[in-house]
Structure 1
Amino acid sequence: MQDTDRYHKEARRAGDRLIARHVKEDPFAAAFKATRMPMIVTDPAQHDNPIIFCNAAFEKMTGYSNDELIGRNCRLLQGPETDRRSVGYIRDSVARGQDISVDILNYRKDGSTFWNALFISPVRDDEGRIIYFFASQLDFTTVKSREAELALARHQAEEAVARNMAELKSALLAKTLLIHEVDHRVKNNLLTMASIVKLQARFTQDTVKKQTLMSVLNRVEALSTVQRKLFTLDDIARFDVADFIRELVTDLVSGVGRNDIRLTLDLAPLLVPAVKATPLSLIVNELVVDAVNRGLSDGGGAIHVVVKRMHGHFVIRVEDTTTPVEPDAEAAEFGRLLLEASARQLAANVERKIEGDKIVVEVMLLIDEHQENEN
């Protein structure tokens, strides 16, 4: 107790000596006392580097009186939740005589906490020896609280987003499963229809009826190919035209049973909305079947199919080179009507050109890049 009183008196005298060096009119001393920023001065030459001077702002911030602060080390502001690493940093920096800038949780006299932006600088004499430490503080508890509130709000928002994403993924999965189930059932129904038509054609003796049934079978199988492709898609909203055409055209040409048909394909990957898959399948089917009926099935020849993007559109082009034969007029007219109806459904433009023994049919459909990506 006697040592404590002695240290307190020594600290008080050191503070008095510090103030006595400045005349009353000294603006620096007046500013130090009157400023609203909490400030203290400590004396490293004394035991435990005690506070020898503090201004009124520091007393107000901490709740301690001047008598309670003078002669005490600043650690009296520390408490149970004060970061030990920050305390160690302050202690080591003071020992090395370095400037310090640190945010630390401190305690007032009444036990309440506040966040203290602490700045400590050594004061040296003409010979470079440290004679004082000057410290200023700033209570930024409100800012820290807002940071905590923002962090909490951000965390809650992230949790909400995560929950919503999980719900959306679950809903999308359910939708995908449902659509796949519908596609699967449609595919099975089309296969059943194809089997019935094929069986009927087998038992039909009339040549015209048989040809009619086979033309129906070709179209049903084209639709079945589309549904099978849709059923296996990971992205239920988009459909790769090129991948579908490769399979459909190959199957159609193979089904003719001639080795003298040369098939070449130039297909660029191209995604379109899945809702366009059915009319597209009918368009491609009619173009290839028309080429087969006009001579490929009788004398062979060449057929070249192109899919590409061009100037904000995509183009399907079917070129066939063969010795032409006269197709069945009724079947050809029905195919033309079906082609035009499917093209109108897609708002597509169909152009047909004859170049010697080559016939070129182009279908141009507006599917710009934005629409392709969005769908």
Structure 2
Amino acid sequence: MKGNDQYTDARDAGDRLLARHTSEDPFAAAFKATRMPMIITDPRQHDNPIIFSNAAFSELTGYSADELIGKNCRLLQGPDTDPAAVARIRDAIAAGKDIATDILNYRKDGCTFWNALFVSPVRNSDGEIIYFFASQLDFTNIKSKEADLAAARHIAEEEVQRRTADLREALGTKTVLVHEVDHRVKNNLLTIASIVKLQARMSQDETVRKTLRSVLNRVEALSTVQRKLFNDDDVGHFDVADFARELVFDIVDALKRDDIKVTTDLNEVIVPAAKASPIALVVNELVGDAVRRGLSDGGGEIHVEVRRLNGHFLIRVADTVTPVEVDCEEHIFSNLMLNTSLRQLGATIERTLAGHRTDVSVTLLVDDTKE
């Protein structure tokens, strides 16, 4: 009888949650229809039971919604599930913190799958945790077939963009759940970066390693963009100067050279979210070009500037380095990335060379409208 009571309590909690969202509410529609497996649990009930799950979660695990309601998520654990991973999840939930971890789970039929699990608490206006929101990503094929990693990275990026676009349109940028969904995007980008990093370490081919490190560099830049877009109160708007400051110091610190002098003149310039990624790639390619031309080999000076110019704003990167031979293929690809981003932004570029000094200025319109 106790089990029936727990099922009833969990079902009632799920019904109350959905009752707050009418059938026309984009939240309910997006949650049910998305191909990303998702569940909601209620920590205010005994054993933090599942109170709602979508069809994608049932398809992934083999359990129907009725079999899941009132149960704790540990029903997906089995003999080979890592106790350390279970402990990390349990500790994060007890502390009311986000967690992203990989765990071996079991379907209803006993088959195993590798689950990239993301769990976040949802709080009410008083700061009390009222739900835990969890999403899953089955990456068994990636885990078992390292040769497919490059294709998996491309597929994952497209899927993340598609799912994020659908959910953002449905939920709106100012709701609590939009923050939760965009946590998924950030964590999926980190998963992609981890996959690429793993493949780079495993590869015996130096050309492959260089290519993967090049991809990783750009994925990490985009991951930084996503983190900054949704960490501030001004959701969906992007401070170019703040990003440029973090990027240049991260890149220089990673070089581990004490003969590089960094100077900056960075002034706040806020742009809409739609421009964040191409602007980030512009900054990344300009700084990366200086690194490839000699900053990583012989040190030198680099100056990064961001400021407004009468309705426009300027991104300027100047460096003084002793030139080294540049990888032709990487140089061509970087120029392609730079020029593609410039066309997307409608920006102009001016490059000045004087001896060992290179000065590059990119100018584009400031868009003050809220998107």
TM-score normalised per structure 2: 0.52
- Residue 177 of structure 1 and its aligned partner are, at CA, apart by 2.7
3-state SS of paired residue (2:252): helix
Pairing 1:341-356 to 2, within 5 Å after superposition: 341-356=340-355
Question: d(CA) in 2 for partners of 1:232 and 1:218?
Answer: 21
Question: d(CA) in 2 for partners of 1:286 and 1:173?
Answer: 32
- The residue that corresponds to 2:296 in the other structure is 297
Whether the 8 Å contact between 1:301 and 1:322 is mirrored in structure 2 is yes
Question: d(CA) in 1 for partners of 2:258 and 2:292?
Answer: 16
Specify whether residues 312 and 296 from structure 1 end up closer, same or farther in structure 2 by C-alpha distance, changes over 3 A only: same
Deviations 1:65-89 (CA, angstroms, capped at 9, x unpaired): xxxxxxxxxxxxxxxxxxxxxxxxx
Query: Which of 337, 353, 368 is residue 372 of structure 1 equivalent to?
Result: 368
Specify whether residues 227 and 237 from structure 1 end up closer, same or farther in structure 2 by C-alpha distance, changes over 3 A only: closer
Question: d(CA) in 2 for partners of 1:254 and 1:349?
Answer: 30
Whether the 8 Å contact between 1:183 and 1:230 is mirrored in structure 2 is no
Whether the 8 Å contact between 2:230 and 2:236 is mirrored in structure 1 is no
- The residue that corresponds to 2:318 in the other structure is 319
RMSD: 1.8
- The residue that corresponds to 2:215 in the other structure is 216
Does residue 286 (structure 1) correspond to residue 282 (structure 2)? The answer is no
- Residue 175 of structure 1 and its aligned partner are, at CA, apart by 3.4
- Residue 255 of structure 1 and its aligned partner are, at CA, apart by 1.1
Question: d(CA) in 2 for partners of 1:174 and 1:301?
Answer: 43
Question: d(CA) in 2 for partners of 1:361 and 1:339?
Answer: 12
- Residue 233 of structure 1 and its aligned partner are, at CA, apart by 1.7
Does residue 175 (structure 1) correspond to residue 153 (structure 2)? The answer is no
Question: d(CA) in 1 for partners of 2:185 and 2:343?
Answer: 24
How many residue pairs were aligned?
Answer: 202
- Residue 179 of structure 1 and its aligned partner are, at CA, apart by 3.4
Deviations 1:231-269 (CA, angstroms, capped at 9, x unpaired): 202111321111111111111111112111111111011
Deviations 1:338-358 (CA, angstroms, capped at 9, x unpaired): 001011111111221112211
Question: d(CA) in 2 for partners of 1:193 and 1:225?
Answer: 13
Partner amino acid, structure 2, of 1:199: L
Whether the 8 Å contact between 1:176 and 1:236 is mirrored in structure 2 is no
3-state SS of paired residue (1:181): helix
3-state SS of paired residue (1:294): helix
- Residue 272 of structure 1 and its aligned partner are, at CA, apart by 0.9
Structure 2: any 5+ residue segments left out of the alignment?
1-169
- Residue 361 of structure 1 and its aligned partner are, at CA, apart by 1.1
- Residue 311 of structure 1 and its aligned partner are, at CA, apart by 2.2
Question: d(CA) in 1 for partners of 2:213 and 2:369?
Answer: 38
Query: Which 10-residue stretch deviates more, 206-215 or 216-225?
Result: 206-215
Partner amino acid, structure 2, of 1:327: V
Identity %: 62
Does residue 306 (structure 1) correspond to residue 302 (structure 2)? The answer is no
Question: d(CA) in 2 for partners of 1:285 and 1:260?
Answer: 21
- The residue that corresponds to 1:362 in the other structure is 361
Whether the 8 Å contact between 2:173 and 2:235 is mirrored in structure 1 is no
- The residue that corresponds to 1:233 in the other structure is 232
Question: d(CA) in 2 for partners of 1:306 and 1:259?
Answer: 22
3-state SS of paired residue (2:187): helix
Question: d(CA) in 1 for partners of 2:195 and 2:185?
Answer: 15
Deviations 1:74-106 (CA, angstroms, capped at 9, x unpaired): xxxxxxxxxxxxxxxxxxxxxxxxxxxxxxxxx
- Residue 173 of structure 1 and its aligned partner are, at CA, apart by 8.1
- The residue that corresponds to 1:207 in the other structure is 206
Whether the 8 Å contact between 1:303 and 1:321 is mirrored in structure 2 is yes
Specify whether residues 208 and 174 from structure 1 end up closer, same or farther in structure 2 by C-alpha distance, changes over 3 A only: closer
Question: d(CA) in 2 for partners of 1:373 and 1:201?
Answer: 42
- Residue 172 of structure 1 and its aligned partner are, at CA, apart by 9.2
Pairing 1:32-47 to 2, within 5 Å after superposition: none
3-state SS of paired residue (2:368): helix
- Which of 1 and 2 has greater Rg? 1
3-state SS of paired residue (2:307): strand
- Residue 181 of structure 1 and its aligned partner are, at CA, apart by 2.6
Partner amino acid, structure 1, of 2:368: E
- The residue that corresponds to 1:266 in the other structure is 265
Partner amino acid, structure 2, of 1:229: K
Question: d(CA) in 2 for partners of 1:300 and 1:290?
Answer: 13
Specify whether residues 354 and 206 from structure 1 end up closer, same or farther in structure 2 by C-alpha distance, changes over 3 A only: same
Pairing 1:142-161 to 2, within 5 Å after superposition: none
Structure 1: any 5+ residue segments left out of the alignment?
1-170
3-state SS of paired residue (2:174): helix
Question: d(CA) in 2 for partners of 1:174 and 1:305?
Answer: 31
- The residue that corresponds to 1:257 in the other structure is 256
- Residue 363 of structure 1 and its aligned partner are, at CA, apart by 0.9
Question: d(CA) in 2 for partners of 1:233 and 1:176?
Answer: 14
- Residue 289 of structure 1 and its aligned partner are, at CA, apart by 0.8
Does residue 329 (structure 1) correspond to residue 328 (structure 2)? The answer is yes
Pairing 1:120-131 to 2, within 5 Å after superposition: none
Question: d(CA) in 2 for partners of 1:278 and 1:177?
Answer: 23
Partner amino acid, structure 1, of 2:362: V
Question: d(CA) in 2 for partners of 1:217 and 1:281?
Answer: 14
